[in-house]
């Protein structure tokens, strides 16, 4: 620039400084970007490989850990249901949540119960069951509940209700409650002895032209039952000891104190006995909700006793789903890590052999 104006010369210097600073800034940004890009690319690869590894592990876990639908816990529960409750030969198959156990021999003496109301399993009829299995079966306390929705032909609702009551009585159960809608549809709550539960469901299915839904759930309360029994035994021992001391008491003060303690222990024994009885009762008899509707019956108002999803159950389901996936990944890693190590060893051997050949 051929100018005599000093201000313009100064301004040119200033602009050059700014341009130089800008160039430096851009170069630094480019360098940092490249570093970040390269570093990021490295991390991306590591993360990608790790993610792929976990996905494969999860897939393997789902395949080998119960078909990807049931968790190991569910499988156990299902197994306990199958073991604890005698099946009617799989007639009531098609359960959505707890599939029917494999066909087990039917008992000849279905109404056999022990003094606690527990179903008694005849060893002769469970010919294939070992003694240990039988012991496990006897200890298991499973509360079974279910619900089933069936469709009957038009104008057959009354007959179906009659048949349902007959089925309940036939298997030693009864109808707790019922509600009907225009004599064309209704809901019934049945209590059925647990060991005849599956046969009852099978008979109810026979009434239907179409089964809308069926769901059977098993709740394992064995641990709670054993816990209560242990408490009961301790309290009974304590009661016996206190009774001995009570008999040996000589002063009024001692007698009163012992009496109070005995009363207290007795009260607690009765409470625990009540809980044990309740569990036995729940185990001995299953609750079955039956919805019957005619083929072309108008849709009834939603039943309040039907398990509607709520926020709490959704959260539970979400947590359950998350834990299942984590569990599947862990199971899969159990398979994948040894396989990967084996592969690495094979690769190392092959690589070493090739290298030694190349050197020679």
Using CB under 8 A, list all residues that contact other proteins.
1, 3-8, 10-12, 14-23, 26
Q: Give all strands of the β-sheet with 174-181 in edge-to-edge order.
A: 174-181, 185-193, 285-294, 142-152, 210-220
CB closer to other proteins, 31 vs 326: 31
CB closer to other proteins, 18 vs 350: 18
CB closer to other proteins, 8 vs 345: 8
CB closer to other proteins, 3 vs 360: 3
Nearest to 340 by CA among 101, 50, 114, 97: 50
> Smallest gap, in angstroms, from Cβ of residue 2 to other proteins?
9
Give backbone dihedrals phi and psi of 98, rounded to 5 degrees, phi first.
Answer: -130, 95
> Smallest gap, in angstroms, from Cβ of residue 353 to other proteins?
53
> Smallest gap, in angstroms, from Cβ of residue 339 to other proteins?
51
- The number of residues making up the chain comes to 360
Angstrom distances, CA of residue 19 to CA of 16, 27, 67, 353: 5, 12, 66, 60
> Smallest gap, in angstroms, from Cβ of residue 35 to other proteins?
19
Answer yes or no: are the C-beta atoms of 224 and 279 closer than 8 Å. yes
CB closer to other proteins, 30 vs 352: 30
Angstrom distances, CA of residue 51 to CA of 46, 99, 200, 294, 319: 9, 34, 49, 52, 21
Burial 325-352 (b: 16+ CB within 10 A, else e): eebbbebbbebbeeeeeeeeeeeeeeee
Name residues whose C-beta falls within 8 Å of residue 22's C-beta, 6 or more positions apart in sequence: none
Answer yes or no: are the C-beta atoms of 61 and 327 closer than 8 Å. yes
> Smallest gap, in angstroms, from Cβ of residue 37 to other proteins?
18
Name residues whose C-beta falls within 8 Å of residue 164's C-beta, 6 or more positions apart in sequence: 175, 188, 190, 204, 207, 290, 292
Local structure of 96: helix, strand or coil: coil
> Smallest gap, in angstroms, from Cβ of residue 18 to other proteins?
5
CB closer to other proteins, 8 vs 330: 8
> Smallest gap, in angstroms, from Cβ of residue 26 to other proteins?
7
> Smallest gap, in angstroms, from Cβ of residue 17 to other proteins?
8
CB closer to other proteins, 23 vs 177: 23
Record the tokens describing residue 82, joined without a space. 């199958």
What whole-number distance in Å separates Cα of residue 112 and Cα of residue 122? 9
Torsion angle defined by CA atoms of residues 165, 166, 167 and 169, in that order, rounded to the nearest 10 degrees = 90
CB closer to other proteins, 18 vs 346: 18
């Amino acid at each position: 620039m051929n100018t005599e104006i000093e201000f313009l010369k100064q301004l040119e210097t200033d602009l050059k400084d700014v341009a130089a600073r800008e160039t430096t800034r851009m170069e630094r940004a480019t360098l940092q970007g490249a570093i970040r890009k390269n570093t990021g690319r490295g991390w991306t690869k590591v993360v990608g490989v790790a993610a792929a590894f976990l996905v494969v592990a999860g897939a393997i876990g789902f395949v080998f850990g119960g078909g990807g639908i049931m968790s190991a816990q569910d499988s156990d529960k299902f197994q306990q249901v199958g073991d604890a409750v005698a099946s009617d030969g799989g007639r009531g198959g098609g359960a959505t949540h707890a599939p029917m156990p494999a066909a087990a021999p039917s008992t000849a003496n279905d109404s056999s119960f022990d003094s606690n109301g527990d179903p008694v399993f005849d060893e002769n009829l469970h010919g294939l069951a070992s003694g240990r299995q039988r012991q496990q079966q006897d200890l298991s306390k499973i509360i079974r509940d279910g619900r089933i929705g069936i469709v009957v032909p038009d104008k057959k609702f009354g007959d179906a209700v009659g048949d349902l009551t007959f089925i309940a009585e036939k298997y030693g159960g009864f109808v707790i409650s019922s509600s009907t809608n225009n004599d064309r549809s209704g809901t019934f709550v049945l209590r059925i002895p647990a060991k005849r539960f599956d046969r009852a469901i099978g008979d109810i299915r026979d009434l239907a032209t179409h089964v809308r839904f069926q769901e059977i759930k098993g709740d394992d309360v064995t641990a709670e039952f054993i816990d209560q029994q242990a408490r009961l035994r301790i309290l009974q021992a304590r009661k016996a000891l206190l009774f001995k001391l009570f008999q040996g008491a000589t002063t009024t003060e001692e007698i009163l104190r012992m009496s109070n303690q005995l009363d207290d222990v007795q009260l607690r024994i009765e409470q625990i006995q009540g809980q044990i009885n309740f569990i036995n009762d729940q185990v001995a008899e299953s609750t079955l909700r039956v919805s019957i509707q005619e083929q072309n019956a108008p849709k009834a108002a939603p039943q309040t006793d039907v398990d509607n999803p709520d926020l709490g159950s959704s959260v539970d389901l979400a947590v359950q789903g998350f834990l299942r996936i984590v569990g599947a990944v862990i199971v899969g890693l159990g398979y994948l890590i040894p396989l990967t190590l084996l592969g690495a060893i094979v690769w190392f051997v092959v690589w070493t052999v090739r290298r030694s050949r190349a050197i020679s």
